Amino acid sequence: MEPIRIEQFFLGCLAHASYMVASEGVAAVIDPQRDVDIYVDAAKEAGWQIEHIIETHLHADFVSGHHELAERTGARIYLGDGSGASFMHTAVKDGDSIQFGNCRIDFMQTPGHTVESACAVLTDLGEPSRPKAVFTGDTLFVGDVGRPDLSGDHTPQELAAMLYRSLHEKLLKLPDDTEVFPAHGAGSLCGRQMSSERSSTIGKERRTNYALQAKSSDEFVSLLTESLPPRPEYFGYDVELNRRGAAALEQLPQLTPLRASEVLRLQSEGAVVLDTRPAMDFAVAHVPGSIHIALSGQYASWAARILGLYKRIILVGEDADHLRESQLRLARVGIEKADTYLEDGVSGWVKSGYELDYIPQVSATELADLLDQDDVSVLDVRESTEVQGGAIENSIRIPLGQLPARTDELDHDKLMVVHCKGGYRSSIATSILRRAGFRDVANLTGGHDAWLVRNNEMAGSQL
C-alpha cells in the first residue's frame, strides 16, 4: 500500500500555499494558484491523474486557477455550500466526503473568514482511526486566523463570532497531532500575525496561536475586529472573478513595446509607468513620475493595493523574461491591463532625449545627523504592529497601503526621509511621493533594521 503524498506549492510573492494530495495514481489539488501548469506538470511527472479540485473558499487576495485546471483535466471542483459560484461545482456541507486510493477527504464547514469557508480533513485509510491532516484555507493559519471582514452581508463582528464557533466547535476538536496546512503564510493580507512556518499541528496552534487564547467569543470578536487594517479595494473584485471562474492565462495578450514618446503621451493621459527593477536601479535612474515596485518582493500584492486593477500599466523591466514574469504576477491578482512596456527600458528613454529622475539614498549615520535639522521629516511606512517594536523618534507613521490617499498630510517644504523595515516598501513609498509632487524625498538605505544596527554599534562603542 503506497503512502499518501502531500505536495505543497508555496508562491512567495503572494505568500500563498496550495497543495496536491495523491494516492494510488489519483490526485486532488487544493486552493490552486492561477497559473496551473505547475500542477499539471507535477502530476504528469509523477504519473497521477488530477480528478479533484478543492477550494476552501472564494479567495480575495489572488485569482484562483480552479476553472482552467478543471477544463484541462476534467476534474470536479468542490466548494463550500453558499458560495454563489456560477461555474460547475459540487457544493459541500458537513459530512460530505470524497475518496480515492487510500485517501478520504471529509469536508467541514467553517464559516467566519467567509461564509462559504470549508476545511478539508484528510484521513489515511491505512490508519482510519484518526485524521492525518487538515487543509484549513484561511480559517486557521500558523500563528493566526483569517480576517473577518470579507462579506458584504455580514459585519466583521458577525463573521468573527462565526469563526470562533468554527474553530472551537469543529477544528479544535481534531486530535492534537493532526497536521495543519493553511492557504497562506507570513506576508499575506488575510491575517495579521502569521508565522513564516509552512505547517503546524492542531495542538501547537491550540497552545501558541494568539487568537486561540481568547477565553470567550466576545473576547475573540474584540481581538479580531479592533484595529482591523483596511481591506484592500481589489479584494472584492477578486472574489467576484473567482466566483465566476477566471479565464485561462494563455488568453493574456502578448507584451507590446512602446517608444518613449508614446509612453510619455500615455502617461499624460493617466497611464502608470510601473518600474519593476531592483530598488537601487530605480533610485539611480528612472522615468519621471513612474511607480516603483520591485519584482523581487510581494510585487503583485502591492501593485494591486497601490494601483488598483483597472489602470493602464506600462512596464519597465530588465529583459524580456523579467517583463513577462511581471505581467504574469500581475495577472495572478487580477491586473490584466499590463500589456505594454517601454522599448529598450531606461536606455531607450535616454536615447529619445528625455531626462531621468532619481531618488537620493541616506544611510542611518547620515539620517542621525539630519535629524538635528528643522527642515527634515522621517516617514515610517511600516504597519502598526511593526512600529510597536520601536520607531525613530518623532517620525510620521503612515502604512504604505494608506499612503496614496494620505499624501496631503505631509509637508512639501521638508526633506522627507522614508523608511520601512528593510527598504523594499520605502522604495515604493518614495516613488508615490515623487509622483505626487514631493521633490525633496530620500530613502533610508537598509530601513529600520539599519537604524537599529547603527544605534547598537553606537551604544557598544560607548561601553
Q: Where are the domains of the chain?
A: 5-244, 252-351, 361-461
CA angle 35, 37, 41 (to 5 degrees): 155
The CATH class, in words, for 361-461 is alpha beta
- 136 phi and psi angles, rounded to 5 deg: -100, 0
Q: Do domains 252-351 and 361-461 have the same CATH topology?
A: yes
- pLDDT at 338 (0 to 100): 95
Q: Which of 139, 144, 132 lies closest to 209 in space, CA to CA?
A: 144
Tell me the pLDDT tens digit for each residue of 82-93.
999 999 999 999
pLDDT tens, residue by residue, 344-353: 999 999 999 9
3-class DSSP state for residue 10? Answer: strand
**With bands split at pLDDT 50, 70 and 90, how would you rate the model's confidence at 202?**
very high
- List the one residue out of 141, 142, 146 whose CA is nearest residue 61: 146
pLDDT of residue 1: 64
Site of grid cell 461545482: 89
pLDDT at 251: 86
Written as nine digits, the cell of 188 is: 499575506
- What local confidence, expressed as pLDDT, does residue 230 receive? 85
User: Looking at the predicted structure, is the pLDDT value of residue 148 above 60?
Assistant: yes
In 321-461, the DSSP E strands lie at 340-342, 361-362, 376-380, 396-397, 415-419, 441-444
pLDDT at 23: 97
Q: Which string of DSSP letters, residue by residue, matches 170-231?
A: TGGGS-TT-EEEESB-TT-TT-SS--S-S-EEHHHHHHH-GGGG-SSHHHHHHHHHTTPPPP
The pLDDT assigned to 303 comes to: 96
Does this model's pTM top 0.85?
yes
Is 203 a residue whose pLDDT tops 90?
yes
**Average pLDDT over every residue of 317-346:** 95
* pLDDT on residue 396: 97
At residue 433, does pLDDT exceed 90? yes
Give the number of C-alpha atoms closer than 13 A to the C-alpha of residue 420, restricted to the C-beta side. 16
CA dihedral 120, 123, 125, 129 (to 10 degrees): -140
Looking at residue 282, its pLDDT comes to: 98
Instruction: Kindly list the distances between the CA atom of residue 43 and the CA atoms of 64, 68, 73, 177, 332, in Å, as whole numbers in the listed order.
Output: 18, 15, 11, 28, 21
Per-residue pLDDT, 127: 92
**Element holding 460 (H helix, E strand):** helix 447-461
Q: Coil, strand, or helix at residue 130?
A: coil
In terms of CATH architecture, what is 5-244?
4-Layer Sandwich (3.60)
For the question of residue 420 being annotated catalytic, the response is yes
Distance CA 100, CA 123 (A): 11
Among 9-18, 100-109, 190-199, 417-426, the range scoring the smallest mean pLDDT is 190-199
In angstroms, what CA-CA distances link 136 with 90, 228, 372, 410?
18, 21, 51, 42
Residue with cell 460547475: 88
pLDDT of 463 higher than 70: no
If we measure between CA atoms, which residue out of 278, 293, 287 comes closest to residue 329? Answer: 293
> What amino acid is encoded at 192 in this protein?
R
d(CA 382, CA 362): 18
- Mean pLDDT lowest for which of 250-254, 377-381, 416-420, 440-444? 250-254
Q: Where are the beta strands (DSSP E) in 303-357?
A: 313-316, 340-342
- The predicted model gives 410-424 an average pLDDT of 96
Three cell numbers written together for 22? 495523491
Average pLDDT of span 444-452: 96
Residue 312: per-residue pLDDT: 95
Mean pLDDT of 155-180: 98
CA distance 34 to 252: 12
Whether residue 271 is predicted with pLDDT greater than 70 in this model: the reply is yes
The confidence score (pLDDT) of residue 461 equals: 67
Determine what percent of the chain is predicted with pLDDT higher than 90.
89
- Between 160 and 187, whose confidence is greater? 160
Alpha-carbon 56 to chain mean position: 17
CATH number of 252-351: 3.40.250.10
- Predicted pLDDT at 2: 77
What is the percent of the chain with per-residue pLDDT over 70, rounded to a whole number?
Answer: 99
Instruction: Output the average pLDDT for the chain.
Output: 95
Q: Encode pLDDT of 338-392 as tens digits.
A: 999 999 999 999 999 999 999 999 999 999 999 988 899 999 999 988 888 899 9
Q: What's residue 384's pLDDT? A: 85
Give the span between the Cα atoms of 162 and 139, in whole angstroms. 11
Task: Write the CA distances from 124 to 1, 48, 120, integer angstroms.
Answer: 11, 18, 13
More confident residue, 250 or 72: 72
